[in-house]
Amino acid sequence: MRQKRHRKVLKKASGYYGRKSRTFKNAHEQVMKSGAYAFRDRRAKKRDFRRLWIARISAACREHGVKYGDFIHALTEKGIEVNRKMLSELAINDPSAFKNLLETVTK
């Protein structure tokens, strides 16, 4: 069982630099640390993408002289439920549709 456990950890550590890929102790420490980083960054990725979408929407709003916060507030007031990911895609790929949405909301 010990050999099986060691083999499993060393297989996960293949590709690491130096002793981290060859000795069980160092490999185990690095595999545990890598798992912690992966867990943390799966959650951070969601925050990073939301920040990116907001930056894109904000830039598109500024081109038309509207603040991002005012735009989002107007969307909620009108009852239009479009998430930030889709708004960002509209702003990049279909600026005319985004402009129409902006004009609809800010009237």
CATH code, domain carrying 64: 1.10.1900.20
10 is written with which tokens? 């060393």
pLDDT for res 107: 80
pLDDT for res 99: 95
Cα–Cα distance measured from residue 100 to residue 91, given in angstroms and rounded to the nearest whole number: 11
Please list the pLDDT of the chain residue by residue as tens digits (107 residues).
Answer: 999 999 999 999 999 999 999 999 999 999 999 999 999 999 999 999 999 999 999 999 999 999 999 999 999 999 999 999 999 999 999 999 999 999 999 88
Count how many domains the chain has. Answer: 1
pTM (two decimals): 0.81
The type of residue at 28 is H
The boundaries of the domain holding residue 96 are: 2-106
pLDDT for res 106: 87
**3-state percent helix, strand, coil for the chain, nearest multiple of 5:** 80, 0, 20
